[in-house]
Amino acid sequence: MITVWLRVIRIRFLLASVIAVSVGLAINWNLNGSIDFFSAVLTFAGVMALHASVDLLNDFWDYKRGIDTSTKRTKMSGGTGVLPEGLLKPSSVYRAGIAFLIIGGAIGLFFVFTDGWMIAVILAFAIFSIYFYSTKIVDSGLAEFFVAVKGTMIVLGTYFIQSNQITTEAALGGIIVGVLSSLVLFIASFPDFEADKSKGRKTLVIAVGKQNATLVFWVFPIVSVGCLIFGIVLQLFPTSVLIALVPIPLIILAGMGLRKNYKNSDLLFPSMSKTLMYSRLTGILFVIGILIGIYP
C-alpha cells in the first residue's frame, strides 16, 4: 500500500521542489553566509506537502474527468494509473490531497507569523494555484506559466524566510528553476494531446498545435540559459554556475527527437526522458555551482 501511495504522489517528481528550495538556500548561503536549519527543514516539509497535494488532486480530477482513462500512460505522462487500476479510491486520493494542502498551508501560516506579509502572498498564490490547477488553470492554457511562477516563488520564499529580503539573485534563480520545471510539464503534455483536447482541457501544446509546439519547446531552455548567463555577466552568480550548462547536449537531443517524432506518442519517451534529465541535472548543477562559488 505504501508503494501505491508513493506512486500516486509521484515521489520522484518531488525532486523539482527539492531543487527549488535548495537553490534558495544556496543563494542565501552565498550572499549571507548562514542557514537557519530549523527554518530550512520546515520549508522543505511545507513545500513537499504542497507539491504532493497538487499531484494527488491532479490525479483525482484527471480520473474524474475521464482523461486518465482515455490516454496511454507512460512513465512521464498520462497520470499515475493508480485510480484507473482501482488501487485506491478516488475519495481517498482527494482527501489525501486536501490533507497535504492543509499541512503545507499550516507550515506556511507559521512562516506568515514569523516572517510577515511576503510569505502570506506566496502562500495564498500556492493554495489557490494548487486547488484550481487541474481544472481552471490547465483548462485556460496557463499551466506552464503557473508552474514557472510556482518555482520562482519557492526560491523567493525560501530565500526570504532565511534573510527577510527579496533580491535580484533570488528572483533570477527562481526564474531559472521555474522555467526548467515548466519545460518538463510542456513536453509531457504531447502524448496526452488527444485525451486532453477531447475532455476540454487546453494545454499550451493544444493552444499552439503540436507542430508549432516543437518550436515553442526551445523557448524554455533559451530563457533558463539566458537568465543564468545574464546573472553571471551582472556578477549576481559566481562564474562557477557555468557548470549548469554541461547538460545542454541533452536538451538539444530532446528537441531534435521531439521535432522528428511529435506525431507519434510511442516514440516520444526518449525526448521526454532527456528533457527531465536535463531539467534536474541543470538544477542540481546550478546549486553546486553556487556553493562552489562561495569558496574561490
User: Which of 2-11, 47-56, 245-254 comes out lowest in average pLDDT?
Assistant: 2-11
Query: How much is the average pLDDT of 80-93?
Result: 84
Mean pLDDT rounded to a whole number for the chain: 89
pLDDT of residue 244: 97
Q: Are 174 and 20 in contact (CB under 8 A)?
A: yes
Which among 181, 201, 205 has a CA at the least distance from the CA of 263?
205
Distance CA 261, CA 174 (A): 31
The pLDDT value recorded for residue 216 is: 96
Contacts of 249 (CB under 8 A, 6+ apart): none
Can you give the pTM of this predicted structure? 0.92
Q: Domain spans of the chain?
A: 14-28+36-292
In tens, the pLDDT along 105-119 reads 999 999 999 998 889
* Mean pLDDT confidence for 92-112: 94
Say if residue 70's pLDDT is above 70: no
| Mean pLDDT score, 223-247 | 96
